[in-house]
Structures are given as C-alpha cells and as structure tokens.
Amino acid sequence: MRTQVGIIGAGPAGLLLSHLLYLQGIESVIVETRSREEIEETIRAGVLEQGTVDLLNAIGVGERLNKEGHFHEGFELLFQRKRHRIHVHELTGGKYITVYAQHEVLKDLISARLQTGGQIRFQAEQVSLHDLDSERPKIRFRQGSDGEWQDIVCDFIAGCDGFHGPSRPSIPAARRTEYQKLYPFGWLGILIQAPSSAPELIYARHERGFALVSTRSPEIQRLYLQVDPRDDLANWSDDRIWTELHARLETDDGFQLIEGPIFQKNIVSMRSFVCDPMQYGRLFLAGDAAHIVPPTGAKGLNLAAADVQVLARGFSLYYRSNQRDYLDRYSEICLRRVWKAERFSRFMTTMLHRDEQHSPFDQRLQLAELEYLTSSRAASVSLAENYVGLPLEF
C-alpha cells in the first residue's frame, strides 16, 4: 500500500491529523491496534480549550459537541472551606471552558473520517516502523494473528500512538532526550449516576488531599479523589469514597454534594513527560507519544490538537510548494507550547495536592498561592488565560 502520510494511532491526535489532511487534499491511512468499539467505549475525561473547540467547529465535527457539551464561564477553587470563582469568560475576553468527554470527541472524528472515505485499519497487530531516515519510510503490521503482513509505504509517518506505542522507541535512544517527573499521588476517579452538584468544575485543596467535582452529562457525573497511586481499589468501598469526598468538599456556605450509584472506579498515577525532539527523519510524534501532563491542568487532548495543527500546516507547505523548512522546525514550534503547558500543569498539581513530604512551611505556601490567585486580578488573569489555552503559535 502507498500513501502520503501514514498515521499510527486513532486517538485524538491521529484522527484530528487525518481529517485536517483530508481537508487539504492530502492522503493518509491510520493504523490502530484497538477495535472501533474499544476506542469509543473507553470513557475518558475531556476539558477542551477554546482553541480546540474552535478547531472542531472549523473542520465540521462540532455539531454534537455544541448540542451536548457543557460550556462553562469559570471554575471554582475551594480551600479553607470557602469557594472562590475564577471567571475565565470575563478574564479572557469571552472564552469558555468546554466539558465534553474525550470518547465523544473520538466518536465524532471516527464518524467524520469514515463518512469521507478515510482509511482506518483497526485491530492491527505487531505494528512496527522501518526506514525512518529514508525517503520511503514504512509501517508494517498484520490484522489478526493469522493475517498476512502488510506494509504501508509513506512519504512521512505521524506517531500518534500514545506513551506506550512503538513510535517513540523507534527513534534511536542516542537521538532523543526524555524528561520525566513522577508525582507521589494519583487520582481515584468515579462515575456516578446523579444530577450535577455544581454548575462548574470545583478544584478543592484540603488537608486530607485533593478533590475534583466535574460533569459528563445531566445524569452522569465524574468525581476524583487524591490517593496513593499504588493503592488497591479494593480498599475503597463506596462508603469510604463518599466519606472522603464530603470531608474534602465541605464549605461554610453549605455546599451539598449529591450522591448516586457508583458504576465505575479507577486509579491513575500522575506524571510529567517530554520527548525532545518530537521528530526523527520522516517520523513526527504528536500527542501523548511525545508528552504527558498530569490531568490537573486539563491539557492532554488540547496539546495533541495543537501538535497536529502545526504538523498539518507543515505537510501542506511541503505538498503545495515543496517547502520543508517548516516541517524541520516542527519540534521547535511545538515544544515551546508543550513546556508552557507542562509548567502550568505542574503548578496546578503542586498547589492543590497534599504531599507527605510537605513541611508546615510548604503547606502555608500553598495557601498563600491560592489566596493570591483569588484576590489579585493580575494573578487571576494569568490563571484563566493558561487554563483556557494560550494562543497557538505557528
């Protein structure tokens, strides 16, 4: 098989890139190890920056988002039993925070790609990359353990296959530098069947640990608790979860957390990670294949969207006018934004979580930071503009 751009991974980065290329008349084929059903049924959080929403609308996949998404004008910081609203809509000149789950974004993108004749090779096995430093790199895989090996010969390969995919390890170790920070806490996330407890997200800093109130739909809510990432879900009964949530979300103004049946639980660890450079030969990394952020800053999907906009522009310049300079600067352009997002995500994470290594001095600094953010307009503007997304620099 022959195509212009071979894409590994049908996550947000791969699907967005494929659709952007289609709109510019550039061929692509996506190779994905999971089935369509597995992708669409894996429930994941989704807080979208204004720029990501604008992009989805611009490429014609925002219809369902505009009907079912939750458009928030702000969020709340809760500490010392008091809630403080950050009015991002007013502080950023009219931008919104949009809550729309990642798996719903993926459903919309998969539908759009298939309706326009896009090729997605689901359930590919033993995917590998070859000849990356040649003019004809290729992707090798087979569908089914008894299937024949298939090669896709490409002009370029986009590695959009996440942290554990084969793309990043295909870059020689001597040609990449990996930066990583592991955090000593994780999130226990639950999905419940209940009406929303609050009109906007609540980020809570408490002596017992962090908590987050989010939403998925009018009937389904998403809640998080800070826990030890090595903990066992068996240690967390429903009663224990609700006891902790009520304790960490208690306020002087009588905020009431609405309970409901818990139908999903999971514990995720937290890390920051960056691969530099994000390219090698004719391979370009995008999304989680190149960088990971802790979820506190809500940047994961949005960074992927920014990456592929830069990459799609580079491919367009190459095919329209044979300009390679922009593609050669892909890492430089993307990493400027990536490191700013890493900074913000780490800032939010360390400010809101309880760390066993924190001294009483460190804890007082956390409170001082929160008090400054919620009392200074300049600090609130900085927080708001980072949260809704910094302008995309091309």
> Annotated catalytic sites, by residue?
72, 203, 295, 299, 387
168: tokens are 């990043």
CB atoms near residue 242 (< 10 Å): 17
Q: How far is it, in rounded angstroms, from Cα 359 to Cα 114?
A: 55
For the chain, list the strands marked E by DSSP: 5-8, 28-31, 47-48, 70-72, 75-79, 82-86, 97-99, 119-121, 124-130, 138-143, 150-153, 156-159, 177-193, 202-205, 211-215, 220-227, 262-276, 279-280, 283-285, 291-292
127: tokens are 């995917």
CB atoms near residue 343 (< 10 Å): 14
Q: How far is it, in rounded angstroms, from Cα 159 to Cα 287?
A: 9
Tell which phi-psi region holds residue 128, choosing left (phi > 0), alpha (psi between -120 and 50) or beta: beta
Q: What is the largest CA-CA distance in the chain?
A: 65
C-alpha count within 13 angstroms, C-beta hemisphere, residue 237? 3
**DSSP-based three-state secondary structure for 133:** coil
Residue type, 77: L
Phi/psi of residue 271, nearest 5 degrees: -150, 160
> For the CA atoms of 279, 181, 206, 192, what is the dihedral angle to 10 degrees?
50
**DSSP-based three-state secondary structure for 163:** coil
**Which is it for strands 28-31 and 5-8: parallel, antiparallel or unpaired?**
parallel
Which candidate, 295, 290, 286, places its Cα nearest to that of 276?
Answer: 290
Q: How far is it, in rounded angstroms, from Cα 56 to Cα 16?
A: 9
Phi/psi of residue 199, nearest 5 degrees: -75, -20
Tell me, rounded to whole angstroms, the distance of Cα 123 from its chain centroid.
Answer: 23
